[in-house]
């Protein structure tokens, strides 16, 4: 049993469990949180899971969680684990079932007063143009050859096909395409599940949200990002749907069967993994990249749907809605970081964690390079979302990573038991937030009280120096599955 006294304060808002805590740990466990948050964090298995992650072969510096941490499959959500390239392990559980779940923030040049009377009309138009719900398909049915092109080229393929503009690619993490993707490593079953899911939202915490910039904290960054007070924005949160889920399922099973051969012992079978440089590690990494590309293509297709709906209601050109940025928050990437004073290539697993590279980093788009990359943090349904700017201290503390959202504080089943969906909808409507949703069960699971307070979560990464607050967005219209 892990106690609060096992955690030592190492820096402001940063706590560690020493690696001597358990004999199988290779590195300490690091937690970004306030003192008050630590009590809550110990209520589920997330810190025990973090200690388990610290035992992985080749893990570097520390197993890390952000203040939005909660229990996940094997690894905690809100976690970062960097393993030594190329001999350390890669683990599907460290990325998550929804490979390249992520968010993209779209900005308009309209202000609240311009759209107020037509906001519900816009919500209905978006709801109609973007299919949502579990297992739901859409209008685009891809042949296997066409799907393979999407898996190989991601958002870039969509832009080529007319679902967007070159500027969208400039403002997408990794330009919306991981080069090592290999469609041949994605099972037939995974492709079957994905063939009609491009341009669909899915369910759970996925959404499209129309919001308004309520507060600017940092003028310089806001100017670089093109954000201003009262501006209308659209936030899109979704991932790789059934395709990514099947890739994770397939490779977790394969790795569970191979771990013994590699002499890998893990404290929880959900930490199934393989050495990165093994055939299984390489195949999973190529399949994960393909699923990540599918997710980027999906968010690109959804943004296109939003642009069409927007033009129907407000007129103008499709380009009037500009992509601010698109971030992945469930992904593994090969990056170079400084470890013990030396440059080292590592496999950075981010599971419910957002890359937060600071000023000057060549991975940051040219337009934003002077201020750091946009870090987009959606709140829970009906609460504000935040835009932050990556700061260079994230490189020393968290492998260039920040939090990804509010983080659950209630399990889905507990939320369904305790929350009445209809009263949530009424409450939000009363506060001027319209909800257009397909399922009442989904509303209960995603109720604001099922989540932590996003503002306190964001304040921790701001105060720790990982990313700085730029703007706060207040929701006006939420479209869900």
| Choice between 97 and 399, CB closer to DNA | 97
| Choice between 92 and 211, CB closer to DNA | 92
Interface with DNA (CB under 7 A), residue total 23
> What binding mask, one character per residue, do residues 385-424 give for DNA by CB under 7 A, x or -?
---------------------------x------------
Q: How far is the CB of 362 from DNA (least distance, A)?
A: 32
167-196 binders of DNA (CB under 7 A): 189, 192-193
CA distance 70 to 409: 7
User: Cα dist. 99→53, 93, 170, 178, 287 in Å?
Assistant: 19, 10, 21, 13, 10
- Pick the stretch among 52-60, 202-210, 225-233, 339-347 that binds DNA (CB under 7 A): 202-210
Q: What angle do CA 472, 294, 174 make, to 5 degrees?
A: 60
Applying CB under 7 A, among 59, 63, 66, 101 the residue interacting with DNA is 101
Applying CB under 7 A, among 88, 123, 281, 481 the residue interacting with DNA is 481
CA distance 210 to 292: 25
**Residue (of 64, 50, 68, 55) closest to 26 by Cα position:** 55
Q: What angle do CA 454, 457, 460 make, to 5 degrees?
A: 150
Check residue 284 for interaction with DNA (CB under 7 A): no
**Residue (of 387, 381, 377, 378) closest to 415 by Cα position:** 381
Q: How far is the CB of 193 from DNA (least distance, A)?
A: 6
Check residue 360 for interaction with DNA (CB under 7 A): no
Check residue 432 for interaction with DNA (CB under 7 A): no
122-151 binders of DNA (CB under 7 A): 134-135
Q: How far is the CB of 337 from DNA (least distance, A)?
A: 28
Q: Are strands 89-90 and 322-328 parallel, antiparallel or unpaired?
A: unpaired
| Choice between 153 and 245, CB closer to DNA | 245
Check residue 203 for interaction with DNA (CB under 7 A): yes
Any known ligand binding at 406? yes
Applying CB under 7 A, among 49, 108, 205, 278 the residue interacting with DNA is 205
Any known ligand binding at 410? no
| Choice between 294 and 310, CB closer to DNA | 294
- Pick the stretch among 10-18, 116-124, 203-211, 254-262 that binds DNA (CB under 7 A): 203-211
**Residue (of 29, 146, 121, 129) closest to 78 by Cα position:** 29
Question: By the 8 A CB rule, do 164 and 304 touch?
Answer: yes
Check residue 197 for interaction with DNA (CB under 7 A): yes
* Per-residue burial over 285-324, b = 16 or more CB atoms within 10 Å of its CB, e = otherwise: bbbbbbbbbbbbbbbbbbbbbbbebbeebbeeeeeebbbb
Q: How far is the CB of 169 from DNA (least distance, A)?
A: 24
Any known ligand binding at 215? no
Any known ligand binding at 407? yes
| Choice between 192 and 369, CB closer to DNA | 192
Check residue 52 for interaction with DNA (CB under 7 A): no
Check residue 46 for interaction with DNA (CB under 7 A): no
Q: How far is the CB of 368 from DNA (least distance, A)?
A: 27
Query: Which residues lie across from 233 on neighbouring strands?
Result: 107, 211
Applying CB under 7 A, among 239, 275, 281, 358 the residue interacting with DNA is 239
Q: Is-catalytic flag, 171?
A: no
Catalytic one among 153, 245, 404, 434?
A: 404
Applying CB under 7 A, among 13, 75, 97, 284 the residue interacting with DNA is 97
| Choice between 205 and 354, CB closer to DNA | 205
| Choice between 283 and 408, CB closer to DNA | 408
| Choice between 234 and 471, CB closer to DNA | 234
Q: How far is the CB of 402 from DNA (least distance, A)?
A: 19
Binding site residue list for Mn(2+): 98, 206, 237, 329
Binding site residue list: 98, 205-209, 237, 329-330, 378-381, 385, 404-407, 480
Enumerate the active-site residues.
Answer: 404
Binding site for DNA (CB under 7 A): 97-98, 101, 134-135, 189, 192-193, 197, 202-206, 238-239, 241-242, 245-246, 412, 446, 481
């Amino acid at each position: 049993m892990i106690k609060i006294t096992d955690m030592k304060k190492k820096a402001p808002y940063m706590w560690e469990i020493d690696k001597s805590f358990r004999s199988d740990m290779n590195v300490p466990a690091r937690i970004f949180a306030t003192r008050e948050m630590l009590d809550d964090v110990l209520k589920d298995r997330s810190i025990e899971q973090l200690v388990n992650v610290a035992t992985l072969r080749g893990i570097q510096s520390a197993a890390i969680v952000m203040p939005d941490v909660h229990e996940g499959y094997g690894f905690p959500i809100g976690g970062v684990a960097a393993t030594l390239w190329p001999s350390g392990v890669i683990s599907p559980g460290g990325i998550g079932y929804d490979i390249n779940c992520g968010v993209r923030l779209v900005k308009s040049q309209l202000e609240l007063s311009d759209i107020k009377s037509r906001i519900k009309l816009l919500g209905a138009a978006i709801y109609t143009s973007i299919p949502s719900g579990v297992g739901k398909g859409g209008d685009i049915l891809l042949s296997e050859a066409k799907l393979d092109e999407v898996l190989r080229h991601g958002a870039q393929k969509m832009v080529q096909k007319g679902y967007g503009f070159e500027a969208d690619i400039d403002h997408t993490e990794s330009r919306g395409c991981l080069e090592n993707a290999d469609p041949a490593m994605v099972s037939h079953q995974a492709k079957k599940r994905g063939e009609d899911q491009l341009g669909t939202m899915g369910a759970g915490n996925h959404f499209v949200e129309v919001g308004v910039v309520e507060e600017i904290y940092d003028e310089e960054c806001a100017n670089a990002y093109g954000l201003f007070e009262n501006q209308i924005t659209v936030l899109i949160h979704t991932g790789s749907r059934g395709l990514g889920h099947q890739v994770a399922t397939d490779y977790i099973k394969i790795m569970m069967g191979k771990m013994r051969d590699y002499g890998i012992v893990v404290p929880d079978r959900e930490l199934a993994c393989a050495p990165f440089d093994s055939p299984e590690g390489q195949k999973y990494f190529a399949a994960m990249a393909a699923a990540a590309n599918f997710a980027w293509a999906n968010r690109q297709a959804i943004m296109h749907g939003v642009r069409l709906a927007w033009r129907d209601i407000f007129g103008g050109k499709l380009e009037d809605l500009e992509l601010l940025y698109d971030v992945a928050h469930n992904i593994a990437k090969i990056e170079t970081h400084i470890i013990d004073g030396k440059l080292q290539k590592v496999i950075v697993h981010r599971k419910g964690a957002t890359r937060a590279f600071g000023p000057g980093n060549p991975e940051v788009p040219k337009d934003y390079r002077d201020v750091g990359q946009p870090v987009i943090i959606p709140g829970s349904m009906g609460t504000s979302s935040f835009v932050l700017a990556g700061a260079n201290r994230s490189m020393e503390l968290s492998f260039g990573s920040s939090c990804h959202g509010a983080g659950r504080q209630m399990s889905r089943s507990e939320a369904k038991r305790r929350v009445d969906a209809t009263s949530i909808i009424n409450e939000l409507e009363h506060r001027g937030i319209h909800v257009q949703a397909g399922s009442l069960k989904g509303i209960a699971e995603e109720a604001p009280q099922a989540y932590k307070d996003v503002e306190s979560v964001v304040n921790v990464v701001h105060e720790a120096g990982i990313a700085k607050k730029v703007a706060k967005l207040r929701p006006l219209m939420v479209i869900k599955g």
